[in-house]
Structure 1
């Protein structure tokens, strides 16, 4: 008798049309199919090829939507279900057994069976235990780790049945399950389906073979998209409960850690199976990351060399002296009082008066005209010029006009060629004796300047009183800015101060630091240019990742359909392919960092100035990962947007 109790599955006037939207002729495959299937029934839908039975199965399994009509599942109209709710229903209610098995070629038998439970969020250990138990129950306990190509057709179909049962398999949708099998394997599969029906599973068998259909407990014949006969529904002796549709779409699916592990595992497997292509893809990322690291290291190394040279030349130094004002009149004089005021500016670290001129210097029978540099005790610090032997004079010695002298490197060789330690000996500068207290390290000459190494250095006040009695004010003054970044601000502050004090612009400031800073800025621009050139190669590598991921999506379209049929949501597919793109770029980025370090060390050994920057390495690595996400997004979105039915039909 026909059961009038609420049906598990109820179709009313279901129609399915294809085409017509792009100018192609419209084809109606299903033409108003209506039927009711009770929970626990074993139903065979039989029909010739092209009759619409597979299309009907796709609609029953929520892989496809009808063009018209109503589909109620457990008294709920599924037309209002979104993509995630349909994925939940496929995962919790249905188990698919396909004629072509539809196993993922890269996964073992056990891993194929685990897939539905993965998307249901079952912990890994429980997934494994249940998959092993199902396979052992189906006689495949010794084939757990075999790939599909290592299994016979009958064994593959049993793996497919185990996968259909992984989440309970309340409804088994079997599409031509014996079509590709020999008679013996076919009988085994039908026996399994009968056992499942006896256990309360709802079994819907799609077949063109009437002998196979006759083994079911209800036979529905479909022809030209219409139901032409139905042997009638019988109340089953036993039925598994239907899923609670109130929970549809509320679950979180696969947990983040399980998803991450699954993505990493499958990605590594795909990368290994396509080793040559993966290596070529990684090469672009590796070269890009290594280039960024090496180029920036070269740029920073060169800049450090420039900065070091700037430091030795005085990257914060300005020269201040009196001059005739533009409007005419007497030349200005910068006094010691002016320098005290300048030294008090916050932008200025020190202000050093200088009197310098050639003077006759004698020791024994050696007499030479030597440039005598009279300054304050700040001279070594301002000029970044250390003393090699002995010491430099102090502020107290300058204030006391102490007759002490420090020799330049060459001056020592000229006056004391055979003396190992000249400290304590007396030099006669003009007519005044000066005691040698130190020797400067070798410095060399600036372009167009006196050779510093041939000079002698005496305290400013001792110079005025003992050597240059005719001079009452400094020849010029050396101003040391607080930092290289404050040089221009210091110059502006000095101008404002002295114009206020003098009432006119009767002074000049020579900003030697500005030229050096401009050189450093030029070096920064060169470093940036090198970094941009290297970034281009990283971009090219990212485009390569996108191309490979697009190819991967095309090659794995059926796998995507299988995952969707077993309950994967669109975002699960999106995350999987994004994760694979990210893994490729992270692997390439890591190898690129290593290659960059090795290449840099080789360059250092060759004498090239390099400074490795941890931030540059992090930026290069992060950029590689970001490139993977950016260029992997389009292929991943393409994969997630695939229609399950279309994906499953792809070869």
Structure 2
């Protein structure tokens, strides 16, 4: 084997701008003449010193390469020939930085490969090597032009020069009219030419061709070999892996392998003057100018992948859609229920004190006679109290003509409606004079009026309560159900004095409602009320509750219910996220070879991570958007059916954000698994 001196490294050539395909002939002659005149020394492109590659095989080992030393200079056309199992493919994987040697040293253009991490190796593959595979290794979901663009995407090339260069290369290789076709629409020879165009995309100085004619007919094979020879003439270093002597005959140098060792190294032709190949790939970007387009490319690839597996994508989306829609719908229902309860409590009033007979913690019966009308009158002197309304209630039958209706009759004062903020719809409320005069008058709720009089006007009519006639002087405005679901309009009001004499009998009240002028004064007024009634009774045989406590309790209950509903919906979203992770893990397994191809063409770990994370994010993002629309639609439908609904901006944003976060979290593990694959193992995956 020929020994070659190793001079000190020379500076790398300055990249030439623009997507150039072929060196100008006069420029090439001038470069070579200058190199010859100055006697400039060139460093080897490939140097292997005692390289071995050992694989464990049970208790023994397999030496795929055994102390191989090889030097390849710039511009050489070398054929590495051997039968299957001789180690030539292993050598190609090591030369192409797809695999690492177990022992020995390997340098590419003076760079020691052993000192490089995975990303540095990917960058070296991207800038230095162009791969031409026996099975083409084109991505079936991309067009010919898009396949050619892949290396420059990972090199950070801008889109316009990248697209232009891809079309120029395809045009040169006779595929200009096939650039929009997918690999399945191309013949074997055409696919291999696309593969060669991809190898040339970054103007890589070394072209590694692994059995490039193995899957082609003889004519297509000859065309590919002629093209490789032409590229070598332009300055590319071509390393051809083959088992066929006829194919190897196209090279100027043939290195034969057997049992992992070089058995011969023959030079068939003199090499031309070696001149470093200038970098002529598309201009590259860095920093944020590179990151944003990289994300855009990842999103485009994600949609392409989703379209390629449309049915599986739909099933994956379904889980996210259901989860997001559930969150929005259930939160809307929960918020609607809370708003309805608060509205009904607000109808009662939030600055009220309700005084009931019976000590705290003791259940009071309806016949508890500890609370008297005089207690209510004594409270009118407390500063800050606006209205006091004692109440005595009972269930009685009201009769008008032949119509009977069983309802709640409440005896109270003229302040009752003011204390309850309850307006009159028709007629008037009885006055304090009516209470003092024991007037036989009555005010009806909407439900009672409708059941007794139908569509007729009840004002001025007389109804019987315990066979005593009462004149209807007013109709209350409709209030609907209260916070406990009871119909507030199913009531009739009479003066308390009249009720004691003609309806209830004994003079005690069931409750006293006190309206406080200012809600901030409620604690003080409550303390004064408690003191006054305790002094009157000489015992604390009553209870004072304020409606703010009712409101607080109701809100806590509704918040708990909303939280439960939200948790149920969140669980469904979590299950959907697990489904996304499962699908992405399956996708990584199915696309192992694709990952290997991307790594061989220069994809770093971050590129693979970005791609698979982006795919998960796109799936969850699309599912989240559809879920938001569906959730709002279901909420609107429920509202049309009479369910109380409150739609706000927060639940859709929260649900969509959770879906997006689900994609980020559950897409990380599959993305990490994909990024951690060994490129040589991934390429060999069937």
Structure-2 separation of matches of 1:611 and 1:622: 20
Is the 2:427–2:459 Cα contact (8 Å) retained in structure 1? no
- Taking the TM superposition and a 5 Å limit, the aligned residue runs for 1:307-456 are 307-314=342-349, 317-320=352-355, 343=384, 352=388, 354=390, 380=417, 382-389=419-426, 409=445, 440-443=476-479
What is the Cα deviation at residue 285 of structure 1? 1.9
- Taking the TM superposition and a 5 Å limit, the aligned residue runs for 1:568-647 are 568-647=603-682
Cα 1:221–1:374 change in 2 (3 A) is same
Q: Which string of whole-angstrom CA distances, capped at 9 and with x for unpartnered residues, describes residues 590-620 of structure 1?
A: 2222222333333333333333343222222
Q: Which string of whole-angstrom CA distances, capped at 9 and with x for unpartnered residues, describes residues 58-95 of structure 1?
A: 11111111111111222221211111111111111111
Structure-2 separation of matches of 1:324 and 1:642: 75
Q: Which string of whole-angstrom CA distances, capped at 9 and with x for unpartnered residues, describes residues 127-168 of structure 1?
A: 110100000011000100111111111111110110011111
Is the 1:311–1:384 Cα contact (8 Å) retained in structure 2? no
What is the Cα deviation at residue 229 of structure 1? 2.0
What is the Cα deviation at residue 266 of structure 1? 2.2
What is the Cα deviation at residue 646 of structure 1? 0.5
- Taking the TM superposition and a 5 Å limit, the aligned residue runs for 1:21-170 are 23=58, 25-170=60-205
What is the Cα deviation at residue 533 of structure 1? 2.5
What is the Cα deviation at residue 567 of structure 1? 0.7
Q: Does 1:228 align with 2:263?
A: yes
Q: Does 1:533 align with 2:533?
A: no
For the residue of structure 2 that corresponds to 1:511, the secondary structure is strand
Is the 1:38–1:235 Cα contact (8 Å) retained in structure 2? no
Aligned to 1:191: 226
What is the Cα deviation at residue 525 of structure 1? 2.9
What is the Cα deviation at residue 37 of structure 1? 1.5
Aligned to 1:365: none
Give the structure-2-normalised TM-score.
Answer: 0.75
Aligned residues: 609
What is the Cα deviation at residue 497 of structure 1? 8.7
For the residue of structure 2 that corresponds to 1:592, the secondary structure is helix
Structure-2 separation of matches of 1:204 and 1:341: 104
Structure-2 separation of matches of 1:163 and 1:589: 37
159-168 vs 586-595, which moves further: 586-595
Structure-1 separation of matches of 2:309 and 2:185: 19
Is the 2:77–2:252 Cα contact (8 Å) retained in structure 1? yes
Q: Which string of whole-angstrom CA distances, capped at 9 and with x for unpartnered residues, describes residues 267-294 of structure 1?
A: 2222222222222222222222222222
Cα 1:293–1:476 change in 2 (3 A) is closer
589-598 vs 58-67, which moves further: 589-598
Structure-2 separation of matches of 1:107 and 1:620: 33
For the residue of structure 1 that corresponds to 2:177, the secondary structure is coil
Structure-2 separation of matches of 1:220 and 1:545: 49
Cα 1:265–1:381 change in 2 (3 A) is farther
Q: Does 1:494 align with 2:548?
A: no
What is the Cα deviation at residue 175 of structure 1? 0.9
Is the 1:115–1:563 Cα contact (8 Å) retained in structure 2? yes
Aligned to 1:467: none
CA RMSD in angstroms, aligned pairs only: 4.9
Q: Which string of whole-angstrom CA distances, capped at 9 and with x for unpartnered residues, describes residues 89-133 of structure 1?
A: 111111111111110011110000000111111121211101000
Give the structure-1-normalised TM-score.
Answer: 0.78
Q: Does 1:284 align with 2:316?
A: no
Is the 1:581–1:628 Cα contact (8 Å) retained in structure 2? yes
Aligned to 1:509: 543
Which of residues 48, 59, 63 is equivalent to 1:11?
48
86-95 vs 223-232, which moves further: 223-232
Cα 1:540–1:372 change in 2 (3 A) is closer
Is the 2:384–2:517 Cα contact (8 Å) retained in structure 1? no
Aligned to 1:426: none
Is the 1:321–1:476 Cα contact (8 Å) retained in structure 2? yes
Structure-1 separation of matches of 2:354 and 2:242: 99
Q: Which string of whole-angstrom CA distances, capped at 9 and with x for unpartnered residues, describes residues 296-320 of structure 1?
A: 3333333333333333344653324
Is the 1:322–1:334 Cα contact (8 Å) retained in structure 2? no
Is the 1:120–1:254 Cα contact (8 Å) retained in structure 2? no
For the residue of structure 1 that corresponds to 2:251, the secondary structure is coil
605-614 vs 629-638, which moves further: 605-614
Cα 1:178–1:539 change in 2 (3 A) is same
Cα 1:559–1:338 change in 2 (3 A) is same
Is the 1:293–1:596 Cα contact (8 Å) retained in structure 2? yes
Q: Does 1:262 align with 2:262?
A: no
Cα 1:453–1:192 change in 2 (3 A) is closer
For the residue of structure 1 that corresponds to 2:85, the secondary structure is coil
For the residue of structure 2 that corresponds to 1:262, the secondary structure is helix
